[in-house]
């Protein structure tokens, strides 16, 4: 079987809003408004047909063994060299072997489909094994012309061979006429166009149907044997009309990409074909036509292999990765359509030494450096002596391709003084992930996009032009990876080890996959029992998930132990230590269900659920916690349930076990705090075997575990500083659940204990949740009991004050100088500030200095300590009825400032006397 074996595409990142052209030039050419919708693709200043062909071919070659290529056909009408083989430059840039046939196909818009037919014929004839066909165009049009709106820049690339065919070639047909709807004379920049109406009616509308019908007849099929009809035509109405003429429904007709890209010249049929292949399903039949001085038509049938192709950017990816501009003068400058003063620095000689270019062609065009076979150090450029100071071996370097190596920015600058078509000129040092670094120009970015550590990739671009001699120099530049900023910000687990219990299916499997995908080494634990925990267990669930992780390039180890036993828990953690050297993350996820209404619940159902959920979390977390403490880092996630948090009929055992995990978290968060061990709890809601018969089917379908995993993965990350919190998560909705403690009220104390009647009397205040707060630990709860806020003491008024309290507060302070024991005050200098609350309260300051005592009403300027107490309690305290220590520990007396000095009061005053 012969056909297409791979495909790729490239559309430049920049898009020009067509309305921006009209806004600048509409005064001159008002009719262009008719086609000023959407946007057209435009090359950056350093892009041309060759650089685009290289980019599309790299996309196409993902997963292709380059050594199998023995042909490269390049199609374009805008090749930079009229006599220097352009395909040869592309082949060198792609580092293809030298014994291939490289050919340029040009001088017609159907050059792309022509090259494709030639390649398919060559493979079919057995002359070639695998041929790479690349087509690209960057056509120019004069300003304010319809064609400036219609044209776009872009490229496509297809591999053609007989192994791993994704679209079988079933035939082709061609008609050739010297039909001159437009032409471009040698050496001219712009096309000369004949009247559009004529091109439409006599050209597109007659020649395309003739060629298509010719092929259908040849193959003895009708339009019903075509699922996708692909042909370019930038006249919108004509595009539809031709499809109608051919008897094709509109759904079959491939979009001509006018709104999002524009027509990409000789590449366009193949760009549209690539987009069709990106969406095609096995069995789909595609008919593709290329128009220009006749018409080429090809017919393909998509095979099952279409599903196995490796990921690529393709047309759809390029259309997403765009930057739209409305700066029309920039478009003109980038295409050299206006002249600007570039300064005298731009006059530096630019002649290229062909001798050096030949000697260094692999380095300059192919970005090939060296790799030391002695120490394994990659370096750019390749030299005789290894750059590694610890090695320094001579003549040990083999070729090493840097073009596809991921890199990051090490240093960068944005230079406003350097000559640049698009200032400032951004450049810097890039560090390749596999080793090696180089100084590189940056492209397709602005200064604001750059950041040290930003992930970059290398792209083949024009470096400089020598207009005097008509020579273009190419080299490799660095550009931010699409979404690089987001990538930098991505939560990663590189070097960390995660243990996920019950990860053989349901939620645990998704947690494990996501953690591994983000760099964690994962222990996939699963006992493999039945939903109710019964059975002898099975290795297959854990093994399947490990295989999934490994197939995606991740690292994982399986463990089949039962979490419900201490031995099982220890084995699970031992697996992590032995396979990966430690444990940083534990997700206690394993779970079973044994639902029964309470009176029917036998003790074994209670015990089994407790054993897996509660004991399981204990057995696994305990050995892990010890390792985390040693390391000073850890993240633990418990799995509770809404059934535990809020209750659910028939799940008494499950609810109790799930709620107990919250209690376990509450204490572990305290014990782990000092060691940066953070413990949180998730209450998930997701479709799994545990919920399949509990949830209604429509809800079940909407509850993917993938919608819960992001929260859990975040809780496992070092970016999560939260600890001791509970989160509900399901169907993409996440919220926090917490235990809140109401403000309550004081209804008595040890001197006047409350009665049930008093409790009843104050029930509303006791039960109220307004102003409730979350308490971090038991101590805080105790503190609140010991020292309730004054506003929560409303009920205390029911504790009868001493009958004469009201009368005596002021009197106490009047009597104070008399009660002062001067001899005890030698060398003492203190001010006691009393702030007495209650109806008879007020502020009094008692100053003791050099055996003297002065009492003043009001607030002292500077107090040694401030004592706050209610009027009735104050009277009881002074009268000796309420011991000072008891007043303090019960919270009735609050002391601020120097608490030690407050103890002098008892020594300095004798009120009883």
Enumerate the active-site residues.
Answer: 654
Measured CA distances, 2 to 111, 218, 687 (Å): 21, 19, 45
CB of 693 to ligand NAD, least distance (A): 12
CB of 651 to ligand NAD, least distance (A): 10
CB of 526 to ligand NAD, least distance (A): 5
Per CB under 6 A, the segment of 322-330, 496-504, 758-766, 854-862 that binds ligand NAD is 496-504
In terms of CB distance, is 487 or 731 closer to ligand NAD? 731
CB of 551 to ligand NAD, least distance (A): 19
Check: CB of residue 212 under 8 Å from CB of residue 160: no
Per CB under 6 A, the segment of 373-381, 471-479, 498-506, 890-898 that binds ligand NAD is 498-506
Q: Is the peptide bond before 381 cis (omega within 30 degrees of 0)?
A: yes
User: Of these, 8, 378, 684, 744, which contacts ligand NAD (CB under 6 A)?
Assistant: 684
Please list the residues that pair with 787 across neighbouring strands.
none
- Separation of alpha carbons 113 and 378, rounded Å: 41
Rg (the chain; Cα; Å): 40
Q: What is the largest CA-CA distance in the chain?
A: 129
CB of 492 to ligand NAD, least distance (A): 25
In terms of CB distance, is 120 or 726 closer to ligand NAD? 726
In terms of CB distance, is 284 or 526 closer to ligand NAD? 526
User: Of these, 154, 294, 366, 528, which contacts ligand NAD (CB under 6 A)?
Assistant: 528
The dihedral over CA atoms of 114, 118, 120, 125, expressed in degrees to the nearest 10, equals 160
User: Of these, 97, 218, 359, 689, which contacts ligand NAD (CB under 6 A)?
Assistant: 689
CB of 578 to ligand NAD, least distance (A): 18
Specify the length of the chain in residues.
913
Q: Is the peptide bond before 424 cis (omega within 30 degrees of 0)?
A: yes
In terms of CB distance, is 530 or 781 closer to ligand NAD? 530
In terms of CB distance, is 428 or 730 closer to ligand NAD? 730
In terms of CB distance, is 154 or 508 closer to ligand NAD? 508
- According to the binding rule CB under 6 A, does residue 715 interact with ligand NAD? no
Query: Could you write out the three-class secondary structure of 187-210?
Result: CCCCCEECCHHHHHHHHHHHHHHH
- According to the binding rule CB under 6 A, does residue 641 interact with ligand NAD? yes
Of 738, 682, 679, 668, nearest to 711 by C-alpha is 682
Contacts of 900 (CB under 8 A, 6+ apart): none
User: Of these, 526, 584, 840, 873, which contacts ligand NAD (CB under 6 A)?
Assistant: 526
Compute how many other C-beta atoms are within 10 angstroms of the C-beta atom of residue 704.
15
User: Of these, 103, 113, 293, 501, which contacts ligand NAD (CB under 6 A)?
Assistant: 501
- Separation of alpha carbons 66 and 540, rounded Å: 38
- Separation of alpha carbons 616 and 647, rounded Å: 21
Per-residue b/e over 818-851, b at no fewer than 16 CB within 10 Å?
eebeeeebeeeebbbbbbbbbebbeebbbbbeee
User: Of these, 12, 154, 161, 506, which contacts ligand NAD (CB under 6 A)?
Assistant: 506
User: Of these, 478, 590, 677, 713, which contacts ligand NAD (CB under 6 A)?
Assistant: 590
Check: CB of residue 343 under 8 Å from CB of residue 370: no
- According to the binding rule CB under 6 A, does residue 652 interact with ligand NAD? no
User: Of these, 56, 123, 134, 690, which contacts ligand NAD (CB under 6 A)?
Assistant: 690
Check: CB of residue 563 under 8 Å from CB of residue 527: yes
CB of 546 to ligand NAD, least distance (A): 13
User: Of these, 41, 296, 639, 653, which contacts ligand NAD (CB under 6 A)?
Assistant: 639
CB of 724 to ligand NAD, least distance (A): 19
- Separation of alpha carbons 168 and 170, rounded Å: 6
In terms of CB distance, is 281 or 689 closer to ligand NAD? 689
Size of the site for ligand NAD (CB under 6 A): 33
- According to the binding rule CB under 6 A, does residue 508 interact with ligand NAD? yes
CB of 554 to ligand NAD, least distance (A): 19
Per CB under 6 A, the segment of 335-343, 504-512, 868-876, 892-900 that binds ligand NAD is 504-512
User: Of these, 295, 507, 523, 795, which contacts ligand NAD (CB under 6 A)?
Assistant: 507
In terms of CB distance, is 691 or 837 closer to ligand NAD? 691
Per-residue b/e over 523-556, b at no fewer than 16 CB within 10 Å?
bbbbbbbeeebeeebeeebbbbbbebbeeeebeb
- According to the binding rule CB under 6 A, does residue 533 interact with ligand NAD? yes
In terms of CB distance, is 305 or 622 closer to ligand NAD? 622
CB of 574 to ligand NAD, least distance (A): 15
- Separation of alpha carbons 665 and 640, rounded Å: 10
In the numeric block, which tokens belong to residue 877?
Answer: 């305290």
User: Of these, 161, 203, 591, 801, which contacts ligand NAD (CB under 6 A)?
Assistant: 591
CB of 493 to ligand NAD, least distance (A): 20
Q: What are phi and psi of 606, to 5 degrees?
A: -65, -50
The dihedral over CA atoms of 653, 656, 659, 663, expressed in degrees to the nearest 10, equals -130
User: Of these, 21, 277, 685, 878, which contacts ligand NAD (CB under 6 A)?
Assistant: 685
CB-based burial label for 749 (10 Å; 0-12, 13-18, 19+): middle
- Separation of alpha carbons 550 and 87, rounded Å: 39
User: Of these, 234, 427, 442, 527, which contacts ligand NAD (CB under 6 A)?
Assistant: 527
In terms of CB distance, is 387 or 685 closer to ligand NAD? 685
> Are β-strands 294-302 and 585-588 bridged in parallel, bridged antiparallel, or unpaired?
unpaired
350: three-class secondary structure by DSSP: coil
- According to the binding rule CB under 6 A, does residue 644 interact with ligand NAD? no
- According to the binding rule CB under 6 A, does residue 377 interact with ligand NAD? no
| Binding string, residues 556-585; x marks residues near ligand NAD by CB under 6 A | ------xxx---------------------
User: Of these, 92, 113, 521, 688, which contacts ligand NAD (CB under 6 A)?
Assistant: 688
In terms of CB distance, is 183 or 649 closer to ligand NAD? 649
Look at the alpha carbons of 17, 23, 25, 28 in this order and tell me if their dihedral is positive or negative: positive
Per CB under 6 A, the segment of 316-324, 486-494, 679-687, 860-868 that binds ligand NAD is 679-687
Q: Contacts by 897-900 with C-beta closer than 8 Å and gap 24+?
A: 897/863, 897/864, 897/865, 897/866, 898/864, 898/865, 899/865
Q: Which residue is nearest to ligand NAD (CB)?
A: 506
| Binding string, residues 601-630; x marks residues near ligand NAD by CB under 6 A | -----------x---x--------------
CB of 514 to ligand NAD, least distance (A): 14
- Separation of alpha carbons 237 and 787, rounded Å: 82
In terms of CB distance, is 24 or 565 closer to ligand NAD? 565
Helix residue ranges, H only, 611-728: 616-631, 642-646, 652-673, 697-702, 709-715
In terms of CB distance, is 455 or 529 closer to ligand NAD? 529
List residues near ligand NAD by CB under 6 A: 501-502, 504-508, 525-529, 531, 533, 541, 562-564, 589-592, 612, 616, 639, 641, 684-686, 688-691
């Amino acid at each position: 079987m012969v056909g297409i074996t791979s495909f790729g595409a490239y559309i430049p990142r920049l898009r020009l809003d067509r309305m921006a052209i009209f806004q600048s030039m509409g005064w001159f050419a008002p009719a262009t408004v008719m086609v000023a919708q959407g946007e057209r693709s435009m090359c950056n200043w350093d892009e041309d047909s060759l650089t685009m062909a290289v980019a599309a071919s790299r996309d196409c070659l993902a997963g292709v063994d380059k050594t199998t290529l023995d042909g490269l056909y390049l199609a374009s009408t805008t090749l930079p060299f009229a006599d220097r083989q352009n395909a040869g430059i592309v082949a060198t840039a792609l580092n293809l072997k030298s014994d291939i046939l490289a050919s340029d196909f040009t001088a017609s818009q159907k050059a792309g489909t022509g090259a494709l037919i030639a390649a398919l014929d060559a493979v079919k004839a057995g002359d070639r094994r695998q041929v790479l066909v690349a087509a690209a165009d960057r056509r120019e049009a004069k300003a304010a012309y319809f064609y400036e709106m219609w044209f776009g820049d872009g490229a496509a690339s297809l591999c053609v061979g007989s192994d791993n065919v994704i679209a079988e070639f079933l035939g082709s047909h061609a008609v050739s006429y010297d039909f001159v709807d437009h032409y471009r004379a040698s050496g001219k920049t712009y096309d000369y166009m004949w009247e559009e109406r004529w091109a439409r009616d006599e050209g597109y509308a007659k020649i395309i149907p003739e060629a298509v019908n010719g092929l259908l007849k040849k193959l003895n099929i009708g339009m019903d044997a075509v699922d996708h009809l692909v042909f370019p035509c930038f006249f919108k109405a004509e595009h539809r009309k031709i499809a109608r003429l051919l008897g094709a429904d509109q759904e079959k007709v491939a979009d001509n990409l006018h709104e999002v890209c524009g027509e990409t010249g000789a590449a366009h049929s193949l760009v549209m074909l690539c987009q069709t292949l990106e969406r095609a399903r096995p069995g789909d039949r595609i008919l593709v036509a290329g128009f220009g001085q006749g018409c080429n038509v090809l017919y393909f049938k998509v095979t099952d292999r279409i599903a196995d192709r490796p990921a690529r950017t393709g047309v759809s990816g390029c259309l997403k990765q765009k930057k739209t501009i409305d700066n029309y003068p920039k478009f003109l400058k980038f295409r050299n359509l206006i002249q600007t003063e570039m300064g005298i620095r731009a006059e530096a000689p630019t002649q290229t030494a062909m001798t050096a270019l030949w000697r260094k062609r692999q380095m300059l065009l192919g970005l090939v450096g060296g790799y030391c076979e002695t120490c394994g150090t990659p370096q750019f450029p390749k030299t005789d002596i290894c750059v590694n100071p610890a090695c320094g071996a001579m003549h040990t370097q083999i070729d090493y391709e840097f073009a596809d190596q991921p890199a990051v920015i090490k240093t960068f600058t944005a230079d406003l003084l350097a000559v640049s078509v698009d200032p400032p000129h951004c450049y810097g040092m890039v560090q390749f992930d596999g080793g090696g670094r180089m100084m590189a120009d940056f492209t397709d970015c602005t200064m604001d996009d750059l950041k040290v550590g930003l992930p970059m990739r290398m792209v083949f671009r024009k470096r400089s032009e020598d207009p005097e001699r008509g020579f273009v120099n190419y080299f490799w530049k660095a550009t931010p990876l699409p979404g690089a900023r987001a990538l930098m910000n991505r939560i990663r687990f590189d070097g960390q080890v995660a243990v996920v219990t019950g990860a053989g299916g349901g939620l645990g499997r998704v947690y494990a996959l996501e953690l591994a995908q983000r760099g964690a080494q994962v222990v996939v634990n699963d006992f493999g029992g039945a939903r109710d925990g019964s059975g002898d267990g099975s290795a297959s669930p854990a093994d399947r998930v490990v295989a999934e992780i490994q197939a995606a390039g991740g690292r994982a180890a399986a463990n089949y132990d039962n979490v419900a036993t201490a031995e099982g828990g220890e084995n699970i953690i031992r697996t992590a230590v032995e396979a990966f050297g430690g444990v940083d993350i534990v997700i206690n996820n394993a779970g079973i269900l044994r639902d029964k209404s309470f009176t029917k619940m036998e003790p074994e159902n209670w015990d089994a659920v407790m054993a897996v959920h509660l004991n399981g979390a204990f057995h696994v977390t305990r050995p892990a916690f010890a390792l985390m403490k040693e390391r000073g880092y850890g993240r633990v996630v418990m799995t509770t349930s809404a059934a535990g948090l809020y209750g659910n009929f028939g799940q008494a055992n499950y609810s109790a076990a799930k709620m107990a995990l919250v209690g376990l978290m509450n204490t572990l968060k305290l014990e782990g705090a000092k060691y940066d061990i953070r413990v949180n709890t998730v209450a998930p809601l997701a479709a799994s075997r545990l919920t399949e018969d509990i949830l209604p089917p429509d809800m079940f379908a909407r509850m993917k575990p993938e919608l819960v995993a992001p929260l859990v993965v975040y809780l496992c990350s070092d970016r999560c500083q939260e600890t001791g919190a509970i989160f509900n998560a399901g169907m993409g909705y996440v919220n926090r659940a917490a235990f809140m403690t109401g403000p309550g009220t004081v209804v008595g104390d040890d001197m006047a204990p409350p009665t049930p009647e008093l409790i009843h009397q104050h029930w509303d205040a006791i039960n109220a949740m307004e102003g409730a707060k979350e308490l971090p630990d038991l101590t805080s709860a105790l503190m609140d009991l010991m020292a309730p806020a004054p506003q929560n003491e409303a009920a205390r008024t029911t504790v009868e004050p001493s009958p004469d309290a009201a009368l005596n507060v002021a009197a106490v302070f009047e009597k104070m100088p008399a009660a002062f024991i001067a001899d005890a005050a030698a060398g003492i200098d203190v001010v006691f500030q009393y702030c007495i609350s209650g109806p008879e309260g007020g502020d009094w300051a008692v100053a003791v200095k050099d055996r003297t005592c002065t009492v003043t009403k009001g607030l002292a300027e500077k107090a040694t300590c401030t004592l706050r107490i209610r009027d009735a309690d104050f009277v009881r305290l002074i009268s000796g009825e309420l011991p000072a220590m008891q007043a303090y520990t019960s919270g009735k007396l609050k002391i601020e400032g120097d608490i030690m000095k407050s103890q002098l009061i008892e020594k300095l005053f004798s009120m009883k006397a």
